[in-house]
Amino acid sequence: MKLSRSQFLSSAILLCWLLGIAPAYAQQVATPATSPSALTDQQLAISVHNPFEDFVKVPIESDTGFRLGRAHKVGDAVNIEPLLPFSLNADWDLMARPSLTVAYAPTPHEQSGLEDLQTSFFLTPHKESTWIWGAGPIFQFPTASSSELGTGRWSAGPTAALVYSEGPWLNAILTDQLMSFAGNRERGSVNQTYIEPMLSYNFVSGWYADVDPQMTYDWTADTANAWTIPMGADVGKAFNIGAQSLSLQLGAYDLLKRPDGAPQWIMRASITFLFPAGH
């Protein structure tokens, strides 16, 4: 399915907003520094995984799904999810995480376009410690360019995360619950639980390995199609190029449990732009 002119413009505006707001925000809040980053390569690697990092991050991830449908086709989705931290006072920070996905689905009808936009907010203590927590609301907006790529519903719910950071380890669990409250009722209800456990080990050189399965449970589906459970691993490296800090990551995940029509396995590739100047 091709995008109409209005849908293409809407997608382009949202994409430009997410690509532009984070670097612009980073430039406004960053303090000039004599080096590209005040952090070591290992600290940069740890910051890639931390959902409550106190500087701007812009991850761009491509998820390529293989063996989709009966014809075993290949689909792809590109997600942009910047982290925007705001200091409320000496004790509390607010983390904003808008999430935009553009997808290509080859089955059941070939189409490409924008999926529903999500935005999460986390209130988290400013004080650093081994254990870090945050909680707040998550919202999902019916911005999809076609009915097959979105829910057609306005949804919201709670989200929370707990992080353990000690030495080279950064481990966490993030979860949210989305429930529909408005929109096209003929499309059915949204009632979905998201669970993302993260386990990462980060080397002094900036190389890291992690396990980061993104699991969902759809309460509106039958039991056989409710769970999506991937299992696999990623490897990556954080480093500096000139004045820019970034990381590159590659991984593969097999879907142990999946609904009908989902890929049998996925390959994930991502680049994360980091803005820790003056950290």
- Domain-wise residue ranges, the chain: 5-275
SS3 of 104, please?
strand
Query: What mean pLDDT is predicted for residues 36-41?
Result: 79
Statement: 5-275 belongs to CATH 2.120.10.30: no
What tens digit of pLDDT does each residue of 135-166 get?
999 999 999 998 889 999 999 999 999 999 99
Query: What mean pLDDT is predicted for residues 31-38?
Result: 51
Q: Is residue 174 over pLDDT 60?
A: yes
Cβ burial 127-138 (10 Å sphere, 16+ → b, else e): eeeeebebebeb
Query: What mean pLDDT is predicted for residues 58-66?
Result: 97
Looking at 142-226, which runs of residues are DSSP E strands? 153-166, 169-183, 191-202, 207-211, 215-218
What tens digit of pLDDT does each residue of 180-229 get?
999 998 999 999 999 999 999 999 999 999 999 999 999 999 999 999 99
DSSP string, 111-160: EEEE--EEEEEEEEESS--SEEEEEEEEEEE---SSGGGS-SEEEEEEEE
Phi, then psi, of 47 in degrees rounded to 5 = -65, -25
User: Residue 45: how many CB atoms within 10 A of its CB?
Assistant: 30
Q: Facing residues of 215 across strands?
A: 195
pLDDT of residue 14: 54
Which of 82, 78, 119, 74 lies closest to 102, judged by CA?
A: 78
Note if the pTM is more than 0.75. yes
From residue 222, how far is each of 107, 195, 217, 225, 271 by CA, in Å?
21, 19, 10, 6, 36
Of all residues in the chain, the percent with pLDDT exceeding 90 is 76
